[in-house]
Amino acid sequence: MSALFTPLNLRSLEIPNRVWMSPMCMYSAAPHGPGAGVPTDFHLTHLAGRAAGGAGLVMAEATGVRPDGRISPWDLGLWNDRQQEAFTRIAAAIASHGSVPGIQLAHAG
């Protein structure tokens, strides 16, 4: 417990504490169409809210690198620019609270 609120250094990355949010699929992204896999305001609030609460690292859910690599059709994706831009906004919001953004890249077989 004594180390819980002390920084952890991984090479050049400093994570301000050891209270981390694990990746959790929210099944809340659009499954089809131009918004497929794109993080929404729900995802922004869900992830950045934990950073605002003090988590040192916030991991985005298992995120498919291809449409057919998602665990479910409602998972996030990172295979196009629209998704990348939405993730960039979320990463910036997390970082604005002094937390480290992370992502679990996934390719379900």
Ligand X SMILES: Cc1cc2nc3c(=O)[nH]c(=O)nc-3n(C[C@H](O)[C@H](O)[C@H](O)COP(=O)(O)O)c2cc1C
Burial of 13 (0-12, 13-18, 19+ CB in 10 A): exposed
Q: Of 36 and 62, which has the nearer Cβ to ligand X?
A: 62
Q: Within 61-100, which residues bind ligand X (CB under 6 A)?
A: 61-62
Helix spans in 1-109 (H): 41-52, 81-95
Q: Are 64 and 107 in contact (CB under 8 A)?
A: yes
Q: Does position 25 bind ligand X by CB under 6 A?
A: yes
Helix axes 41-52, 81-95, angle to 10 degrees: 20
Q: Are 41 and 78 in contact (CB under 8 A)?
A: no
Q: Does position 38 bind ligand X by CB under 6 A?
A: no
Judged by CB under 6 A, the residue of 6, 7, 13, 24 near ligand X is: 24
- As measured in angstroms, the least distance from the Cβ of 20 to ligand X is 9
- As measured in angstroms, the least distance from the Cβ of 50 to ligand X is 13
Q: Of 23 and 67, which has the nearer Cβ to ligand X?
A: 23
Residues binding ligand X (CB under 6 A)? 22-25, 61-62, 104
